[in-house]
Amino acid sequence: MNKDNNNITRRELLTRIGQVAGIGAVMSGLSVLGITPISSALADHLLQKKTDVLPPESGKGKSVAIIGAGIAGITSAYELSKAGYRVSVFEALDRKGGRSLTVRRGDTIQETGGEKLTCKFAEKDSHGNDIYLNAGPGRIPQQHELVLAYCRQWDVRLEPYIFVSRNNLLQADGFNNDQPMKIRNMKHNLRGEIANLLTQSIQKKELDDRLTETEKKQLLDLLIEFGDLATADATPDPKYPDRTLTCKAFTDSPPDNVKNVIAYCGTDRAGYAKWPAIEQGVLKPHVSLEDIWMSQLWDIELFRDMRVSQQASLMQPIGGMDMFWKGALKQPAGVGNPGKETVNDLIKTNAPISKIITNGDKVTVTHHDSATSQLQSEVFDFCISTMAPSLLHNAVENNFNDAFKTALAISHEADAPSCKVGWQSKTRFWEEEDDIYGGISWTKHTISQIWYPSNSYQANIGVLTGLYNRNEEAEKFGKLSHQQRLVVAAQGGEKLHKGFKNKVDYDKGLSIAWHKMPYFAGGWQSNTKAQFIDTIYHPLHVPQGHFYMAGCGMSFNDGWMEGAIQSAHAVLAKIAHQVAS
């Protein structure tokens, strides 16, 4: 807020619009501010989260170059070709999908300057399902409506992805004798302890100035259920009758001003040390509030499933995340692309870009032609780049204006290093030994987490994502050789599963550091961090003639496929406006 005149800034306005209504409203807001006008009809399309964002046949006679065959590039190619545009997609690599990389037997990973890794996973498990590692994106939140809309449109079949189950593990050195603890144990003890604290405040009359007697009674009833609290006069639960008899709150003399004692004395929600069967069960030991907060496991891991994009149950394409964009490649190429049958035919691989020159309403793109091993220049009406901005700055000659070049020059600061390790297991030991079916276990070790497969339960084998880290941890991990990475990742696995190295096919382990992969600058671009909004994010949204930037870093859903598609739709709206005006 401007302190002198109390007027809201452009950035504050757009941020608030985006928080309330999403990318469509932001685009409309930009139009109001005169930054990048679009028609109200197209804004309505975006607001309604429709996938058909371009009017039919609106691109007749127009051409578009798209740099990069990742999610943003493929989505743009699909929509543009459907609307009649002539589309050419230039992909620097010999494969499609960008960071949406699913690795199967025989596939290769080779970082710049690194050894070539060939996937040695089995092809199928005992249930006949594919064995694979999602080396890039791995899940689809329920509110990512554009991704889900395209799944329907492209007939991409989905199945549940379990983000967290109460049997997943938490581990931190110095906590619980360094041994992992099930999430249910910590989470439900924490609920009980918090409920207990508030109950004591009520019983000691510390909230009398805020609550009536009726309100206190109602809140106490809620807290008893929320925390599974015990009461002194309650009938003992036959599953654990000794709970109230041995609880310290009931064996000690209660404070003089407290009657009808209510206390947290443990709960079967946290699980059992010995599960009830023919004989009575034995509850797990009580975990104190002090132990919980001292563990520091609550800072991200314990509450991850409360984030709006990381609900307990998400979704994934059946057979691997690459099934999503492969569904797009099967779609018709459109009438503006004679001789091309599908979207797949619009893509030229092994065609890195070396120069982009804007000139009025045209854009000249120079790329490497793999057929002739020569540079080839083509003129287009529009160009969409989905390259990481830092790579565009470093590798592509251009004539963009100074403000745009300045944003590109510092954009490397927003690149997010990210690494993954994949293991094929010898058995599904997490199911057999720990009753874990899907979800993620967390550790303070550098591996950060282990993902368990959310499909093919009780098959003979599976693939674990045995490390997923980012930023400084990923930067350090990425400097290791592949074999050194496997050593570290196995050590991290040992923190969560004793004997881990012997439970996986160690020699089949895969590792990838996205910031070291050719034509990538990291796992994503964090352009929407507060320090980059004005210096990188907004400047790169300003078109350079008929040249536009897209990619997940050009959306507030950075790091997600939804963000890549949102950015593509925003650019398509700008192009449609240019064509219509």
If you count DSSP H runs as helices and E runs as strands, how many of each does the chain have, helices first? 19, 28
- C-alpha distance from residue 35 to each of 11, 157, 481 (Å): 12, 39, 47
Rounded to 10 degrees, the C-alpha dihedral 147/151/153/156 comes to 160
pLDDT in tens, 82-118: 999 999 999 999 999 999 999 999 999 999 999 999 9
Which of 89-98, 244-253, 375-384, 488-497 shows the lowest mean pLDDT across its residues? 244-253
| Cα 373 from Cα 353, distance rounded (Å) | 13
Q: Are 540 and 390 in contact (CB under 8 A)?
A: no
Instruction: Say if residue 569's pLDDT is above 90.
Output: yes
Q: Token pair for residue 54?
A: 């371009």
Domains plus CATH for the chain?
A: 55-97+332-412+527-580 (3.50.50.60), 102-135+158-170+310-317+418-516 (3.90.660.10), 183-295 (1.20.1440.240)
Query: What pLDDT is attached to residue 581?
Result: 82
pLDDT value for 253: 61
Question: Which of 150, 151, 146 is CA-nearest to residue 46?
Answer: 146
Q: pLDDT for 488-535, tens place per residue? A: 999 999 999 999 999 999 999 999 999 999 999 999 999 999 999 999
Q: pLDDT category, 562, cuts 50, 70, 90?
A: very high
Over residues 388-417, the mean pLDDT reads 97
Contact yes or no for 232/250 (Cβ under 8 A)? yes
Which is it for strands 397-398 and 415-416: parallel, antiparallel or unpaired? unpaired
Q: In this structure, what DSSP letter does residue 135 have? A: S
Burial 125-145 (b: 16+ CB within 10 A, else e): beeeebbbbbbbbbbbbeebb
The SS3 call for residue 221 is helix
Residue 391 pairs in a beta bridge with: none
Residue 50, classed as helix, strand or coil, is: coil
Using DSSP bridges, classify how beta strands 347-348 and 86-90 pair: parallel, antiparallel or unpaired.
parallel
In angstroms, what CA-CA distances link 369 with 77, 366, 374?
A: 20, 9, 5
pLDDT band at 547 (very low <50, low <70, confident <90, very high): very high
pLDDT of residue 285: 86
- Residue 219's identity, in one-letter code, is L
Mind giving me the DSSP string for 510-544?
A: EEEEGGGSTT--SSEE-TTSGGGIIIIIHHHTS-B
Residues 6+ apart with CB under 8 A from 288: 189, 193
Tell me which amino acid residue 61 is: G
- 514, amino acid identity: W
Task: Read off the tokens for 218.
Answer: 């109602």
The whole-angstrom separation of Cα 205 and Cα 460 is 58
pLDDT for position 531: 96
**pLDDT at position 482, please?**
98
By residue count, the chain amounts to 581
pLDDT tens readout for residues 164-176 = 999 999 999 999 9
Q: pLDDT band for position 266 (50/70/90)?
A: confident
- C-alpha 39/C-alpha 524 separation (Å) is 30
Residue 283 β-bridge partners: 272
Q: Which tokens sit at 505?
A: 């096919």
Average pLDDT over residues 213-236: 86
Percent of the chain clearing pLDDT 90 (strictly above): 77
* Cα-based torsion angle of the residue sequence 27, 32, 36, 38 in order, rounded to the nearest 10 degrees: 60
Q: What is the pTM of this model?
A: 0.89
Please give the structure tokens belonging to residue 317.
């394409």
Predicted pLDDT at 26? 46
Exposure class string for 39-71: b at 16+ Cβ within 10 A, else e: beebbebbeebebebbbeeebeebbbbbbbbbb
